Chain A
Amino acid sequence: MVVTASYKDKDGKVVENKQERHYHPQATNCRDTKMKYGAQWKVANIRDTAIQPHQPKKETIEFELPDGVRSADVTVDLFYEAVNPDNKYPIHSIKKTVSLDK
């Protein structure tokens, strides 16, 4: 999942801030601490951030804006990657405009 907050700075230039969350089981070979890809290298999961049944995955992601910037466009992109990061399947893309003015 990639969350992007973009806004225009003082000079009118578009600035993009991105934060990512990765949801998947993570395994090592149990001989070192490096995560491995590929069944031939993996031995056991050491961490599992995948999306589980009965367990909604909730995040609170914060962006700080520079002084004077009063609004930002937020985009949340959820996609699936199979086998390698270039093989992407888009799932959802939600856009919102957030204003600091009442």
Chain B
Amino acid sequence: MRIILLLLITAFVIMPLSTVGAEKAKTIDELAKMYDSSQCKSCHAEIYAQWEKSHHARPLMGVKGGLMLTPLALKKGEKGATAFSEDDPKKMKISNFPCFKCHLPQAVTSAEDSVAAELAEALLAKDSAKVGKLQITCMVCHNEKALIHKRELGAPEKGVIYGNKDVASHAGGKIKKSAIMKDSVFCGQCHGLGPNLEFDQAFQCANLYGSYLHNYVSGGGTKSCQDCHMQKGDHLIAPNFNDDKQTSELLAKALTLDVETLGYEWLRKAATYVPKVVVNTKIVSSAGHRIPDG
């Protein structure tokens, strides 16, 4: 009995360790396997279920299943093709998808160019099942994006889970403390400051973190992204734009609308009355950044 128990525990410890290997992934399946976090489900069932419904679980088809990277995969010259497109999808490289910086950061550090070519072909074939394998998994946040002081602290260690504190005995694999899991800058790594100027073809997607810093913090705001979006560790990290009802409700809470009206007759000039309706509207937001972004 004791031996069986021991074996079980070692299996849990070793699984995450073997997930992030030194070799780069050559296929979508290999990349998905490298960051596969399905083993977390057995113990963190609630968090896992929240995450599965989140935008982070579908970063390449976030809203209503739309395959939004498709324009990049189109042949150069074709209608809708972009500056990042090639004349043959087979020629697509990781650098042809600058979107990976935030939508799939593990592709930048851990995938060969063949993954980009395979993705381009999957996009053109509308193969949602294959594209859907590429996710911002538990290990992308709890390992890959958990350290930003690499000169001082080194790169994230392979297989180690980063959390708010050290937990040597964590049954799912060693947990080390990350300094930034509770800080807005953690989310800011992907939620955008403004134009992405480091690429040879500049472009802009999310710039919500810029708005947080320059419109919310500057106005005296003190809450972090996690304070507002991850109460009690909620990994849905709403809004979830595939849930229309919930999104409407959250937005109604976040934005108050006040309407005042006045009806009167305006005197334009002597004896010329113009009947008028005046509508005064006021919207107040309780969010920590612009709404909407992007």
**Residue of A with least CB distance to B216:** A53
- CA separation between A27 and B293, bound complex, in Å? 11
| Docked pose: A7 CA to B285 CA in angstroms | 32
User: Which of B205, B251, B284, B291 contacts A39, CB < 8 Å?
Assistant: B205
Q: A40-B84, A69-B275, A90-B248 are in contact. Are A57 and B71 (CB under 8 A)?
A: no
Q: Which residues of B (46-77) have their CB < 8 Å from a CB of A?
A: 63-64, 66, 71-72
Given A60-B278, A66-B275, A42 and B241 contact (CB-CB distance below 8 Å): no
Instruction: Check A62–B204 contact: CB distance below 8 A.
Output: no
B265-294 contact mask (Cβ, 8 Å, vs A): 1 or 0: 100000000111111111111111111111
B168 at the interface (CB under 8 A from A): no
Residue contact A53 to B63, C-beta cutoff 8 Å:
no
B251 near A91: Cβ-Cβ < 8 Å: yes
CB distance from B219 to the nearest CB of A (A): 4
Kindly state the separation between the CA atoms of A59 and B259 in the bound complex, as whole angstroms. 10
Give the CA-CA distance A86 to B288 in the complex, in Å: 27
Complexed CA–CA distance, A92 and B288 (Å): 20
Chain A residues contacting B291 (CB-CB under 8 Å) are 23, 50-51
> Which bucket holds chain A's interface residue count?
35 or more
* Chain A contacts for B287, CB-based, 8 A: 53
Q: Which of B225-266 contact A (CB under 8 A)?
A: 241, 244, 247-248, 251-252, 255, 257, 259, 261-265
How many residues of B are in contact with the other chain, CB < 8 A? Answer: 57
The reply to whether the CB of B202 lies closer than 8 angstroms to some CB of chain A is yes
Q: Which of B207, B211, B274, B283 has the most CB of A within 10 A?
A: B283
Give the residue of A42, A48, A54, A94 whose beta carbon is less than 8 angstroms from that of B219: A54
Q: Quick check: A50 and B293 within 8 Å, CB to CB?
A: yes
Name the one of B84, B277, B285 contacting A51, with C-beta atoms under 8 angstroms.
B285
Known A-B contacts A40-B71, A40-B72, A42-B205; A61 and B248 likewise in contact (beta carbons under 8 Å): no
CB<8 Å pairs between A and B, sample of 19: A39-B203, A52-B211, A53-B215, A53-B219, A54-B216, A55-B219, A57-B284, A62-B279, A63-B276, A64-B275, A66-B275, A71-B263, A74-B261, A76-B279, A83-B241, A89-B241, A91-B251, A92-B252, A98-B263
Beyond contacts A43-B202, A89-B247: 10 other A-B pairs, Cβ-Cβ < 8 A, are A3-B279, A39-B204, A50-B211, A53-B219, A53-B287, A55-B219, A57-B284, A58-B281, A65-B275, A83-B66
